[in-house]
Structure 1
Amino acid sequence: MDQQAGEESIANTVSENAVELAEKGAPIEDSDFEEVVRGALDAVGGTLLFKMRVEQSEEPHLAAAAFVGEGETRQFLVLTMPISGGRLRVETAAKSTSPIAGIAAAYAGLADAFGTAA
């Protein structure tokens, strides 16, 4: 299996293991979003790097960056969900147009460096 197919497979697996948060008439809470993301990542041994609320678009949403794997096989993912609820969208950072896609690898590298220094 080539790397691109492997990345898509992991993104699909994470997505399939995500719980949909139904619209509640009020914005989705950060804690609810984190619970859905962590549950989906647990299914593939993934690690949440960070999450944030993105208000600067036509559709405000919650976003998270994560990775699966170790070392050179580590794959970065971008996970998003509309603030109004719905299904978790998962894509590889390489294919994502989200600005957090580029931050994910840098953040992971920084976390690795701090972990080594500690």
Structure 2
Amino acid sequence: MAYDSNNIFARILRGEIPCNKVYEDQHVLAFHDIHPQAPTHILVIPKGAYVSFADFSERATPDEITGFFRAAGLIARQAGVDATGYRLISNHGRDSHQDVPHFHLHILAGRPLGPLLLRQG
């Protein structure tokens, strides 16, 4: 999948679309999801043009990778979800329902989240 510079996250990073920002630094922007799936639902995106985790882990600099994951932990702590727990989700490709072709993490928390996947048959 090629990077689409007009995807919604790229447009948010360029300031073309507003977001409800919770954190920003040189490598990361984090904001509330507009269609939350839990009481706390924060999206964490790298500022670089990476399609997926595979792309990010292959092409990002060590500083970008470290900064991204340290920021995700900090954001979860600042959201106050450490005590009760949270889930980190990153989807890759069609089978996982990746909707935006820009690598991102979902931080989900604020209620019991149930099983990770629905059991089949």
Is TM (by shorter chain) over 0.5?
no
When you count helix as a share of all residues, which structure comes out higher? Answer: 1
Q: Which has the higher contact order (CA 8 A, sep 6+)?
A: 2
**TM superposition score normalised by structure 1:** 0.34
**TM superposition score normalised by structure 2:** 0.33
